[in-house]
Every structure is written in C-alpha cells, then in structure tokens.
Structure 1
Amino acid sequence: MEKINNKQLVEDLLAWYDANARILPWREEATPYRVWVSEIMLQQTRVEAVKPYFERFIHALPDISALAHASEDTLRKLWEGLGYYHRVSNMKKAAIQCMERFNGQLPSTYDELLSLSGIGAYSAGAIASIAFHQPVPAVDGNVLRVFSRVWVIEDDILKESTKKKFQKLLMEVIPKERPDAFNQAVMEIGAMVCVPNAAPKCHICPLAPHCKGYQTGVTHKLPVKAGKKKRTIEKKYIDVVVYEDKILLQQREKDGLLAGLYEFNTFDYPQEEELFLSTLDIEKIVPLKDSKHIFTHKEWHMSGKLVFIRKKIKGNLVSMQDLEEHYAIPSAYKAYKEGLIEWMKHM
C-alpha cells in the first residue's frame, strides 16, 4: 500500500472544512474566552445541546473577570442541565488564576494553558490552536477515531499512552499556517462523517483516498477500546415535598457526585424514605413516573412521588420562581421537576 501523502491529506481536509464547516456561535467570534467556554462545554456534550447554554453563559458572564467573581450558585444555575458540574467549578478556579497570574487574560501558550485548573491536554491544544493559532494538536475522541482509521492504529484509545502517541504523530502533520482550521476540521469530520458505532460515511469522506482503514476494509473495527467497567446500578427514592406553594430542597455535599447542587429529598433505601415520611403531616401523596439517569460509572434507577404536607417543616423551602431562577437542579431529577411543575400549574 502506498505511503500516505500527509500534505495532500491536509489540503483535502481543509478544503472540505472550508466548504462544510457548521456555523457555530463560538466560531463566528473566536476570542480566547469564547473558545475556552465552548471547549469546556463541549466536553461530553453534543453541539446542539451546548448552543443555548453558551449564549446564556456568555451573556451573563462576558469575560474572565465576571466569571472569576460569579457566585457558585450563579454558576450552577447557568450550567444546570449540562452535567459534569466540576467543569464549571474548575472554570471559576482557572478564571481566578488568570486574574492573579495573567492580568485577567487567558495565556497564549500550551504549557501555560495546561497549568490552569480544569484544562487538560485536549483543551489546552484546542484553545492554543483555535484562539492563538499555535501549531498544537487537540486530541479528543473524534481525533483518535479518525486517525485510528486513517493510519490503522490498533492501540487502545482509552490509554493515556495512546493519546500521547497520537499527539506526537499529529505534531508532524498539523499545518503551521492553519492549525485552528486543521483541529476543527478533524473534529468536524469525526462528528459528521467518520462517526462512531454506526457505519462511517466513507463515500463522502474527503480522507477516503488517504485512509488505510477504508482501503483495507477494517474501518468498522476501529478504533480499539478495551472493555469498560460495567456501570453499577443504584436505586433511589425521590420525595418532592410541597408545603403550600413552597418546595423543600436539600443541598448536596460540596464534594463527590453532583457536588453542591440542590436536589429533592433522596434516599438510598425504602426504609429511610419510610422513616422520613413518618415525620411529616401528610395531606396527600401523588406517585410520579419511574425514571433512570446514566452517569459515567453508575446508573440511578429512581421512583418518585409528590408529597403534599399540611404542617411547615424545617429546611430550605423555596418558591417555584426561586426554584426556576436561582437553584440548579441536576438533570437526573428532570422527570420529577417536570412532574412538580405540571402539578403546581393546577394548584
């Protein structure tokens, strides 16, 4: 098989990108801050889901100073529904670091970006190349998938050593004159053409003439991922307690899963829930539908109910308006928040 002509590969890739790149709000005005916000939001989240969050976040916190001074509750509310809340918590830490060390600006070099909280090798590469035009690769899942197929590399892409291997290989390919377009083009190919799981659209891929995987018929076998650990299943019992027009909320611990977010009363065992309910002066109980939420390493299988009480109890009782405007409820509780809203409309 002929050796891949990397120069021609890059030219074909960039020509495709120039003709097919999606219009995205962070691309229209690629300032360092906007690039940073978008890249963090896009981690483990689809582009279409990110768009409204990005616009709302930038409107509320237009620069690094605003982000550095934002309250944790404000940040959680702006991030509500995006998940992986440690991302926005680290962004605030990084913004404070920028205020203290870089005169309120994002640093322009890969190594300096890497020194900020929440910015790893991929994010540093993306920001350095897109915002500052540094010839640095940004190796994410899309990039690993595309070039595993192009070069037929069968290393386990979940290993850190594999990511470093690709980073080194891509340093030899990335064009110094257009590193921003190159990295975005590979991401775009991975998102739109060289897709995971389902059959990739090789017949419309600009890299097909260069792709060893396509030419040898092994594209569907790549990339290689070692078997992930099976997610654990946890049962949860959710009580949405309502007193008059107020809802009882609990704040989760500052560390761990969904750290610092607000939730409805949640129990691991039915006996715990029964004990809690026995302390209330209950007017009526309305069952809500069962729900499931998938985290990275676990699943919550939930059953829930609305619990209307006659007597006020101690705790954080909030209005529906405050719930909507100020309190970030994790998307794990979406079905129960929606059930609550529907019932409150008719009260």
Structure 2
Amino acid sequence: MCESFAKDLLAWYDAHARVLPWRISPADRAKGVMPDPYRIWLSEVMLQQTTVAAVKDYFNRFTTRWPDVAALAAAADADVMAEWAGLGYYARARNLLACARAVASAGGFPKTEAGLLALPGVGPYTAAAIAAIAFDLPAVVVDGNVERVTSRIFAMNDPLPAARPKLRDLAAELSPRERPGDYAQAMMDLGATICTPRNPACTICPVFSHCAARRLGIAAELPRKAPKAAKPERAGVVYIARRPSDGAWLIETRPEKGLLGGMPGFPGSDWVAGGAPAHEPPLTADWLTLNGEVRHTFTHFHLSLQVRIARSDAAPRQGEWRADFSPSALPTVMRKAWDLAAPQFHEF
C-alpha cells in the first residue's frame, strides 16, 4: 500500500498544498529550491501545541527581526522572550535561544536526524520534521495530524496515548523514500484540511480508497483516546503596583526554570491547591483587592488569581520598579491580570 498511498497523496499535495510562510511550494521544490532549515526549525518549534493560524504572525515578526540563525543567536534573551509573549509554553523560547546559539557556534544545522536530535530542545518529532522537510531525508514524521490519518487508514482502535509507538510503526510503513519532505507536509495538510478531528471530509479525500476506517464507517471515531483525568485547581494572588513619583511599575522576572521561566510578570504568591497560600505583599501599601479574578488554564492545572493593586513609592521586597514596562511583553496569564487592573488605576 505504501507506494500507491504516497502516490495518491503527493498528487493531491501538488495541487492543493497550503501556502505557508515557512514552506517551499511543491512546484518550486520540484525545480530544486531547498527550504531554509532555520525557517523550518523555527516554524516547527512555534507550532508545538499551537495552531498554524496563531503562529503565522509570530513567525513573520521573528524572521523579519532575526532573519537567520546567527541573528537569533545574538539576540538578547529579554527581546526574544518579549516577542514570544502570548505563544505560551515558554520553555520553548528558552530552548529556542539555546538551540540557535548551539547551531550558530557549529556553523549551521546538522544534516542528519541524529545530529538534529542532539540539539537543545529538539525532540524526535522536530528532528524528523527538519530532516525530512529541510534536507529531504527519509525520516518518519508523526504529529497529531499524522497520528489521526494513520489511525484511520489502518482502522487502529488502540487508544492514545498508549498507541503512539504502534502508530509510529504504521506511519513508517506508509512513508516513502522519495520526496519525504513533501510527503511529510502532505500528511500534515491532509489531517489539517480533510481528515479533520470532527466530520472528516471522506468523500473528497485523495486517499479514501486506502482507508479501512472509511470502509468500516468509523473514521470520525478515530483515533480513540483514553479518558483524561480532571485537571486540578490552583489559586494565588498577584500584586500590581505603580510608583506615583515616576510612573514605574513593579515587575518581577520569573526564575529561568519552571512555569513562565524567564518571563516578566507581577509579584505574587505561590500557586497552590486549596486557595491562595499565606503570603506577604511585595511592598508596604494600601492594597485594593479587585472584584473578579483571573482564570487561566495551563497544561496540567487550572489557575485562578486574585488581583490586588496599589500606588506606592516604597522600596519593594519582591520585584523591581521598571519605567520601561510594556504590557505586550507579558505572558498571557499576566496580561489577563493587567487587563483587569489597568482600568482601575484611573479610578483610585
């Protein structure tokens, strides 16, 4: 099935490939135009647990400001983290810088899957994607779209995530040695536009004749997924203060390791189960507790934050006064706190 499946899929891709800012079209690829590994790597890191629609503007801003890996490697950490704000999963931004600096020091990206896998922050999927798309190496590229397509082609009922090793083996059976980069992108496009999670468009699918799940009438039910455990709830308090004498804001840079590592934010308590913990405000002030709360969901828990605001010229015990503060540099959860608090500073 491998040869005929790949032939049908690639014929469809040649006619219907999505136009993406990091992609070389199949027509240009056929003329010998090779993708820039920097752009492929950057897009793949950004796309981890994020949608194409959300990534496009970030990708364009990054590549305009830092057009190659050497430029990104030389960038200040704070500048990169500020540009990343809003994309989430901030460990990716820290790994992005570490990887860029390793690649720049080595004089370029490794041209083997094993070499790519040794780079900071590059896992098996990203290494395979860069190897296939940037260097046209016969790597097996398996993301969520590929898992879904593969599970339906083979009518594989084993539930995720336990089924992932078996799905990878099945995906390897389908993967051709010719045009591996175009094939990898074709599988992604198929899953994103036709073989979608809900209501797959089986009647216009270019590989419908190969699909066991379609024949059985169970395509929309696959892949099976094990029930998810309920996410725990955590709570905390965040303090937003402004210094009247010069308009500076109280800002704290979070530790490099952990959630929102290296990102600017507002001082506050720990985030714990069972309500906000006992804590001391970051400076002496007459703190006003705002009505409402900030709600945010991380990968492993839901968070609710009480927001307190104040004006004060006191010396802070936590954080530092910053006159150059920009809300656009905040991670999403802190931006939500800012959006709740900012209007109140005009009223008290």
TM-score (norm 2): 0.86
Give the whole-Å Cα distance in 2 for the aligned partners of 1:330 and 1:226: 31
1:47-126 map, 5 Å: 47-100=52-105, 102=106, 104-126=107-129
Secondary structure class of the residue paired with 1:26: coil
Amino acid paired to 1:131: A
Alignment partner, residue 321 of structure 2:
317
Shift of residue 112, structure 1, vs aligned partner: 0.9
- Cα shift readout 1:282-304 (whole Å, capped 9, x = no counterpart): 3x737254221111111112232
Q: Which amino acid aligns with 1:214?
A: R
Partner amino acid for 1:253?
Answer: P
1:9 aligns with one of 2, 5, 11: 5
The letter for the 1-side match of 2:239 is D
Q: Are 1:199 and 2:199 counterparts?
A: yes
Match status 1:44 vs 2:49: yes
Q: Deviations over 1:63-109 (max 9, x none)?
A: 22222232221221121111111112112222232234x3x211111
Please show how residues 1-347 of structure 1 align to structure 2 within 5 Å.
5-28=1-24, 30-100=35-105, 102=106, 104-159=107-162, 162-196=163-197, 198-244=198-244, 245-267=247-269, 268=271, 270=276, 272=278, 275-276=280-281, 280-282=284-286, 285=288, 287=290, 289-305=292-308, 307-314=309-316, 315-319=319-323, 321-324=324-327, 328-342=329-343
Runs (5+) with no aligned partner, structure 1: none
Q: Please give the alpha-carbon distance, in whole angstroms, between the structure 1 residues aligned to 2:311 and 2:93.
A: 36
Q: Report the CA distance shift for 1:88/1:310 in structure 2 as closer, same or farther (over 3 A).
A: closer
TM-score (norm. length: structure 1): 0.87
1:208 Cα deviation after fit: 1.9
Structure 1 contact 234–299 (Cα < 8 Å) conserved: yes
Q: How far off its partner does 1:62 sit? A: 1.9
* Separation (CA, whole Å) in 2 of partners of 1:346 and 1:46: 38
Unaligned runs of 5+ in 2: 25-33
- State the Cα deviation string for residues 156-179 of structure 1 (Å, max 9, x = none): 3323xx434333333343233311
Which whole-Å CA distance do the structure 2 matches of 1:116 and 1:52 have between them?
25
Q: Name whichever structure is richer in strand by fraction.
A: 1
Q: Distance in 2 between matches of 1:345 and 1:138?
A: 53
Query: What letter corresponds to residue 9 of structure 2 in structure 1?
Result: L
Q: Secondary structure at the match of 2:121?
A: coil
Q: Distance between the aligned counterparts of 1:26 and 1:61, measured in 2?
A: 14
